[in-house]
Structure 1
Amino acid sequence: MRKYLILGILLLGSMFSYANVSIRSMETELVAVGISHESIKEAENILNIALKKHRIMLIELEQKELEVNKLLIEDPEKNWFQINRLLDEIGQINANIKKNQLKAQIDVRKFISKDDFLKAIELHQMNLGVIK
């Protein structure tokens, strides 16, 4: 279970960093599609803020998991209520991570539409020679 949780967290983190790198590396394609430099900068700013929040939440999540493991090692029966409370907090942090990710996507779409982004990806791939 813990392996899947860590894998999911790493996957979310990589999605945020990939989205930020994609916008930076595709700036010329985004401009070619018709998106202004200001909109691109705003989208980058939104993703950077979301990434910082994401990293903070991952640290909080790791801290809670360490507390749970410590309590499990000491005496699980004696510490059951604390463990249960911490597991609820872990679930809340995971929910907040998802909310943060979705909020960032919604906010970025105010500046870069899905269709424009897909067109820019296609142009970028053509420029890289991936698509002929």
Structure 2
Amino acid sequence: MRRYIILGLMLLGSMFSYANMSISNMEKELSTIGISDENIENAKTILSTALKKHKIMLIELDQKELEINKLLIDDPEKNWFKINKLFDEIGQINANMKKNQLKTQIDVRKYISKEDYLKAKDLYMANRGAGKTTTIDVQINKN
């Protein structure tokens, strides 16, 4: 269970940081293909807000895990119901993270369509001399 949580958090964090970085770095390319500066700024604002929420949720997850570890050290049998409740809270936080990720994608696509993003990304890669597709690109392009 913990392995899946860590893997999910790493993937989600990577996607948020990649999306934020790529839109910031691709402003010129996005403008070149016809996206207004206002739409680019709106998308950056949405991603920035989502990244802040994501970081807060990561801190909450760390806090819950520390609390579970403390209860495990003290007396796991006596604290079983508290531990169980904390695991439920961790599951809820993870679900909220996924919901926020999806909501962010939907909100950003109001300003930058998937097709425009892919055109700008291709232009960005061509300008930088990189043509290799990364795992993150595959994940973003699937949606």
Shared fold per TM-score greater than 0.5: yes
SS in 2 for 1:78: coil
Structure 2 counterpart of 1:30, which letter? L
Instruction: Tell me the residue number matched to 1:31.
Output: 31
Instruction: Tell me the residue number matched to 1:124.
Output: 124
Percent of paired sites with the same residue: 70
Matches within 5 A, 1:64-79: 64-79=64-79
Instruction: Tell me the residue number matched to 1:85.
Output: 85
Instruction: Tell me the residue number matched to 2:40.
Output: 40
Q: CA-to-partner distance for each residue in 1:53-111, whole Å, 9 max, x for gaps?
A: 00000000110011111111111111111011000000000001111111111100000
Structure 1 counterpart of 2:29, which letter? E
Deviation at 1:3, TM superposition (A): 4.1
TM-score, normalised with respect to structure 2 = 0.87
Deviation at 1:2, TM superposition (A): 2.8
Query: Take 1:5 and 1:43, find their aligned partners in 2: how far apart are those partners?
Result: 28
Gaps of 5+ in 2: 132-143
Structure 1 counterpart of 2:118, which letter? L
Query: Take 2:99 and 2:127, find their aligned partners in 1: how far apart are those partners?
Result: 34
TM-score, normalised with respect to structure 1 = 0.94
Query: Take 1:87 and 1:121, find their aligned partners in 2: how far apart are those partners?
Result: 39
**Cα RMSD for the two superposed structures:** 1.1
Superposed structure 1 runs of 4+ greater than 2 Å apart: 1-8
Aligned length, in residue pairs: 131
Query: Take 1:4 and 1:89, find their aligned partners in 2: how far apart are those partners?
Result: 16
